[in-house]
A and B are shown apart, each in its own frame.
Chain A
Amino acid sequence: MIPVEAEPDVLRLPPFRYHRPGTVAEAVALMGEHAGNAMFVAGGTDLIPNMKHRLFEPGHLVALKGIGELRGIREDAGHLRIGASETLTSVATHLDVLRSFPALADAASHVAGPQLRNAGTIGGNLCLDTRCTYYNQTEFWREALGYCLKKDGTVCHVTKVGKKCVAAHSADTPPVLMTLDAVATLVGPEGVREVPVRDFFVTDGILNTLRGPGEIVTEVRIPLVSAQKKQAYAKLRQRKSIDFPLLTVAIAADIEGDGTVRSIEGVVTALGSRPRVLSGWGDTAEGHKLDDGIINELAQRAHKQCHPLENITVDPEWRRAMVPVYVRRALEKLGAA
């Protein structure tokens, strides 16, 4: 047991037992041993505050940071493999990432602040819990509210009707990984499976990924052919550091030498409970150059598809209006890349 600190700690963690396995197999076994009462922790930058808010109270934490297999960024068999425990700082500054996938480095460098990026990991960012103004609050606050659908309650205070949690997917890197055709490797009691990041998320604010509770994301790999794509990332937030996104835009496109778009994909997030792949972009842009007309058309298409809710306490009308603005800015950045 972690000794109970004698000194006040401002907001207390619930008590838990901390395990430090040395291998993925040990970690999976430990999780099996304490099934239903254990969680994995890597950087802890998401989980620990959530535990202090009593959103999770696992009796056991299985630490992933001491597992060597989960580290390393290297090229292998046509992919760039990024160990899930690599920190966001490491992803943001690694030369291979910067050279081949600048939008990913850009996204990683926009997560929170420097200290949190030194602790937070790429695997953790992929598995980041969804966020909502009625959820990311203390136990006292949520009790005064009467709790919510995502945790301990029955009502969604955002939609007021409906039985679906609409907490916002708020991670910076997954939209970029999606546009780069990245694949996540998961290891669990049932063995190993590979899930394209594009398919990793589901429309359920309570638990918005396919990862089972006993599974570890061990690696994210990006096909090196994706490095040929032009990439761009844009993030809307109130401050220049710390803040979760109010809107994230990731775009990757195959563009011929003369500027003709061969293929293009845009993903936005921080609006609903999973990242949204913008539809109809191929029809609009393929075979054309990214001139102002096409850019505006793509931006308008994005606008039509996005309807942010008040899961974040920033005016949804404004957030919606920012979709075409930030999509256009990302497209202009991409054109200049």
Chain B
Amino acid sequence: MSVNERKSQSDLKLIGTSRRKIEGLDKSTGRAVYTDDIVLPGMLHGKILRSPHPHARILSIDTSEAAALPGVHGVITGRDMPRVYGIIPWTPDEYPLCVDRVRYVGDGVAAVAAIDEDTAIRALALIRVEYEELPAFLDPHAALAADGSSPYVHDAKKDGWNGNITKRVHLEFGEVDGLMDASDVLVEDNYFFEGTTHTPIEPHCAIGLWQAGGGFQDADGATTGKLTVWSSTQVPHYLHRELSQVLGVDQAHVRVLQPLVGGAFGGKSEPFDLEFCVAKLSMVTGRPVKILYTREEVFYAHRGRHPFHMHYRTGATTDGKLTSVDAKILLDGGAYASFGLVTAYYSGQLLCAPYAMPAYRFDSTRVYTNKPACGPKRGHGSVQPRFAFEVQMDRLAEKLDLDPIEFRRRNFIGSDTRTINELRITSNGFLECLDAVERASGWRDRFRKLPFGRGLGIAGSTYISGTNYPIYPNEMPQSAVQMQIDRSGRVAVFSGASEIGQGCDSLVASIAAEELGVPLDYVRVMRGDTDFTPVDLGAYSSRVTFMLGNAAIDAATKLRKMVQEAVAAKWEVNPTEVLLAGGMAMWSSDTERQMPIKDAFNIAESMFGALGSMGSYNTPKDVHGEYRGATIGASPAYSFTAHVAEVEVDVESGMVEVKKIWVAHDCGRALNPILVEGQMEGSAYMGFGEALMEEQVYKDADHGRAGLLNAPSLLDYRIPTSLDTPELEALIVESIDPEGPYGAKEAGEGPLHPSIPAIANAIYDAIGVRMTRLPFSAPSVWKKIAEARTADTLRKPLVPAGDGTLTDNPARTAPAGAR
């Protein structure tokens, strides 16, 4: 559907106004139903036995004692589900439960179903597993250097290969070395981004229900049954496929239901052991089985942000233009591939905007290590390089004696263009984002001029509005919506999208209300049931608003046209003159001529028969280059963000207090501004937490036992409390994207990226210390301060004059006053 078939944007009534989420009251009153709230008759409780070793062979498993324990109904091991899977079709390397090898402390080995959790826990203790311990790879550099003298984390696919390497990506665009050599200034350094995890408040939970018989038959005509799985997943469609493949049940006989999800952030975007286990245990026991992860198990499931070891070389000319960017990245992937192939590409591919780069090269290698698998976390693969690169930008600006915002403006890539790696950029509000944070933060009067210890930092970024291609190659739509109209005036929307708190149910409801003119409370959304709702690929890569929104507009517009035509026929006017708004159908030439929307619907039903429609969306296919890997990072549209962070550094303790973050984000159009602001603030908060305190780290041989997760709890894995959280000011920028629904782009992940480098750059402005390793915890900042003291560099940096001369800083207090 082309844009001009859509409702005129100036006519928008509901879209663009702030509205509560339709499920908001249920969530805030406790009425909302999450997976763990569901109790089925006869339901059993499952528990998973986990490996105490980071790397070991399973020699034998004896489940007989556990199976004999009264109250235990079923025990399964990896041998019961020996089919390998993986979210990325090219890198399957996981089993629901380990078959012959465990690869991290916490890897699943066996599972039991019992009358209650306590019995299941007792049964786990009765399972005897004989292991042969193997040397573990915990350091990615060691994993990369491995020579096969001890078993790789995964067996090499070919003799002589290093089985520890998941993926290596080397891409080069333009004359990298030549332009680097010709640069007037160069900045080069190492950066390290520590791994972090998602910490959704709702732990993963799943219920399996196998209903044998019932006329369900397999391909050979043998009677089988039907499998239903409720899960707190953010990808019901992919779970649906994987359950079918791994368990050997016809996909048509598998039903996945997604109740409300209590946070996901990328941590629930692939199948996990519990979903296969509840399904298999239900097949074994004939009863429904529930598994709820403990918080510790959520940490083991992980799939969080990869630790990145990064090296960047960046050049520029004296007139402040980037010349060449050269990156080398080692990704510490943990025990399984997960989305790692994509992560390796994203680590380089998503850096090529919002600044024009004449030449760019990246060399990214993802290795396996014997730790919980890393995967996608909000801002998948691009948050880490963005940190390094935006600090590089700050350093270049300083070397060039340019204001860092001005430096970024000079390198703005523009709209309706291609990046150096051939990604198509359309709408681009990055300059407006820079303007907004510059103005709101009082940048011009305050950057480099605040007292010693206090500073401002800027950073910018871009992110995808959905991946242009699905995870498994196919030509079908990425998202679809079905709508039907009831004689009461009510509109029912069937949506396969994943509501993980971002507001996609509210989105489709408001689109139905907008297009069909019904009050918002006349719209019902049925979502997340693969038996009844059309396919949407899932809540990942910031794709939902963009793709589901377009699908919903498609479905609603088809219905609107039928209603307009029917009413127009009755009034004997042109269908385009029939307006549907405010619960009424009206004639645009004389709005006194009107009828209740219910009557309009009834007239339309009389004319066309029962009123229903399907809408769908698929991405344009000409938005990327032709080289191998060109499609990874391609998106129908890109969002842009700029942050200014203000910090105060206590140079005695190294404690950094972030006072405020100004967040300007180009979301195309804010369909519901309060939800956009919520995403912007939530993203900035999450980045801020990673900047200052979060780290998923492990014990080493000198500290207890190598490979043990340091702190698998929310007490010792620290995320910021409300008291720690800075003031966040969301500044919405609207560039009205030509492809997005009503011009909208994403807002859920992009606004995270600049938080971290903006804080790093603000620390530099405050005390002249460059933070290149995350997190900026007090001990690490304190150590850098001590180094700066020794080197006599602990001071406010000079004010850029912009004309090549450095001016002395009026606020440049010698830190002697500070102890």
Using a CB–CB cutoff of 8 Å, the interface residues on chain A facing chain B are 4, 6-12, 15, 113, 133-134, 136-138, 140-141, 143-146, 157, 236, 238-243, 310, 313-315, 317-318, 321-322, 325
Contact = CB atoms under 8 A, between A and B. Distances in A.
B52 A239 contact: no
28 contacts: A4-B116, A6-B116, A7-B36, A7-B39, A8-B36, A8-B45, A8-B292, A10-B292, A10-B294, A10-B295, A11-B295, A11-B296, A12-B121, A138-B712, A141-B296, A144-B52, A145-B708, A157-B704, A239-B693, A239-B723, A241-B722, A242-B715, A313-B710, A318-B654, A318-B778, A318-B779, A318-B782, A321-B782
Contacts of A133: 704, 710-711, 716
A245 B297 CA distance: 27
Nearest to B725: A240
A319 B779 CA distance: 8
Interface in B98-141: 105, 116-118, 121
Contacts of A10: 203, 292, 294-295
Interface in B763-783: 777-779, 782-783
Interface of B: 36, 39, 45, 50, 52-53, 105, 116-118, 121, 203, 205, 290, 292, 294-296, 652-654, 693, 703-705, 708-713, 715-716, 718, 720-724, 777-779, 782-783
A157 B777 contact: no
Contacts of B703: 157, 310, 313
Contacts of B203: 10
B723 A241 contact: yes
A141 B708 contact: yes
A47 to B, nearest CB: 15
A144 B705 contact: yes
Contact of B705 (A136, A145, A325): A145
Contacts, number: 95
Contacts of B778: 238, 318
A243 B655 CA distance: 15
B296 A138 contact: yes
Nearest to A238: B718
Q: Which of A134, A144, A239, A314 has the most CB of B within 10 A?
A: A144
A15 B116 CA distance: 13
B456 to A, nearest CB: 22
B704 A9 contact: no
Given A313-B710, A318-B778, A239 B121 contact: no
Nearest to A7: B39
Contacts of B720: 239
A318 B118 CA distance: 42
Nearest to A144: B52
Contacts of A134: 704
Nearest to A146: B705
Given A8-B117, A239-B693, A318-B654, A313 B716 contact: yes
Contact of A325 (B296, B652, B710, B724): B652
Contacts of A243: 715, 718
A9 B117 contact: yes
Contacts of B783: 318
Contacts of B721: 113, 239-242
A266 B294 CA distance: 42
A270 to B, nearest CB: 15
A134 B723 CA distance: 29
Contacts of A239: 693, 718, 720-721, 723-724
B704 A140 contact: no
A146 B779 CA distance: 29
The 10 lowest CB-CB distance pairs between A and B, nearest first, are A144-B52, A318-B779, A240-B723, A315-B779, A8-B292, A157-B704, A241-B721, A241-B723, A325-B652, A145-B705
B708 A144 contact: yes
A314 B121 contact: no
